[in-house]
A and B are shown apart, each in its own frame.
Chain A
Amino acid sequence: MAVLVLIECADNQVKKSSLEAASYASQVATALSTSVMGVAIGNISPDALAPLGQQGISKVFYNNEERVKNFVPAAYTKVIAQAVEAAGAQVVILSNSSIGAAVGARLAVRLNASLATNVVTLPDLAGSAFKVRRGVFSGKAFADVNLTADLKIIAIQKNAFEITEQEGTAEVTALPISFSETDVTGTPTETIRATGKILLTEADKVVSGGRGMRGPENWHLIEDLANALGAATACSKPVADVGWRPHHEHVGQTGITISPNLYIACGISGAIQHLAGVNSSKVIVVINKDPEAPFFKAADYGIVGDVAEVLPKLTEAAKALNQ
């Protein structure tokens, strides 16, 4: 018996979201009086995995073969399924990422497991239950879900759990797999990444703009503040729809759901669809020239004013803070 956590890797580094998942897995393992093991897949060297002991992981299985350097759902599923067996895992922890969620569904079918995605609490183990709370209705509500199968798979929301640290070094063991052609069907031929930018989905601070920015020519106001704060940038749906910003920056009910520590909304009125995508942010700041904007009701801090005047002042204050 053990808790197994998927360790996602890129450029020979463990992703921040996987450190969160490992810390979460350790807490689950403690509650179940068992150990936590990891399975790392992708472009990673064994040396980079031993420090996972600091998140409480006793042993990491890894597979860094050429065929899984890029993400392929079926191949990843095969590696994780084998690690579940090797670890004797009863619980599998994933991050609710483009990788975790995609393999979670396949694993659930392959291993007859119960799967809950978008999870925001540790499991409630009272009685014989294994209950977790997950975000539903696009962030407008939560549901408490009981996982009934013997094997339970949980994909946790990003930024919902702290990374914990302790003393320790993980044992690292290769997990060789023989992949078939079907396993690697759909391997990407090319990966395009925006460089030098903070990832919106992983950011703990986000500065976001709406139609109140009045046009793409004013977007430097958002970017300047984001740079000064070390934040990612985002936008509302209308802004993506008119093409001021690309769709992948659109946060809200039909875009990306985010849960940063700080969300600063500039010139966004706060339609219910937008709130749904951001209301699990810990602190919300709203800047809008309309004092009646509904977003103020969901905010912790508010400024009634023109973004063109307010944002440069914030940027200046943020820069002063850094000095």
Chain B
Amino acid sequence: MKILVCISNVPDTTTKITFTPDNKQFNTAGVQFVINPYDEYALTRAIELKEAQGGSVTVINVGEADADANIRKALAIGADDAIRVNAKPTDALFVAQQIAHYAQAENYDLILMGKESVDYNGFQVHGMVAEILGLPAITPAIKLEVAGNTATLEREIEGGKEIINIALPLIASCQQPMSEPRIPNMRGIMTARTKPLKVVEPITAQAGTVYESYSLPEKKSGVKMIDPANAGDLIRLLRNEAKVL
């Protein structure tokens, strides 16, 4: 089974978000970057499938050289080789076109990625790649099993799930409880150094959106504390003051 996993390089989930003084860009100073957590669920599931059934796992990232450390981490976790499309990922459509262009020639059985990235939260790239390549996309998938040429997936919907049986090839976007992410071991880290990481130049592609400026949510005006002995007062305040009951 030939699997492509798309990974995004994102700020660690504990990051306090700030912007440049003109509010035009995310301030990366002092920020630790990680593999997008949802993409890690996809990566781990891909590696589990490879371990059980054979095949290969390639990771692809659309990004600049600062993503290489996390691409190496994906190799250390167990991917076989990696591609980095050397470009600033301006928007989902741009990224999707790069991934689709690379994947087109490779005939992957599965293309996996997270349901969204924790920085831009678009929930778009999987659907766009699927549309460009003419493949089905199951998003968001919480379970993926493969037997021969057929996959069985569970797709999360509001208040439940759907069961889908479908022939390969396909695209799935992942979220928990898809898999339990792994921490790379020493052997993985050593072998990752010599695994191939190919850098390719982007194709010409159009973005569909322009990010103009950023802002932070308004701060709360302050918390009103209620005596635990009279906890019931809270309910009356929620009705009469906050007017949410």
Contact = CB atoms under 8 A, between A and B. Distances in A.
A313 B126 CA distance: 47
A285 B241 CA distance: 13
B243 to A, nearest CB: 9
A59 interface: no
A274 B211 CA distance: 26
Main DSSP-derived SS at the A contact region: mixed
A248 B156 contact: yes
Interface residues of B, number: 81
A142 B234 CA distance: 31
Interface of B: 11, 13-17, 19, 26, 37-38, 92-93, 96, 118-128, 130-132, 134, 136-140, 142, 155-167, 170, 175-177, 207-217, 220, 223-228, 231-239, 242, 244-245
Interface in A115-153: 115-118, 131, 133, 135-149
Contact of B213 (A143, A187, A297): A143
Given A73-B136, A98-B156, 15 more contacts: A70-B162, A74-B136, A108-B124, A136-B119, A141-B215, A141-B217, A187-B164, A188-B162, A200-B159, A262-B245, A272-B15, A286-B223, A298-B220, A299-B220, A317-B232
Contacts of B37: 253-254
B208 A102 contact: no
Given A131-B212, A141-B215, A143-B213, A105 B158 contact: no
Name the 3 nearest CB pairs between A and B, nearest first: A105-B127, A305-B228, A317-B232
Contact of B237 (A116, A191, A301): A301
Interface residues of A, number: 99
Given A144-B212, A254-B13, A303 B225 contact: yes
B34 to A, nearest CB: 11
B33 to A, nearest CB: 13
B244 A261 contact: yes
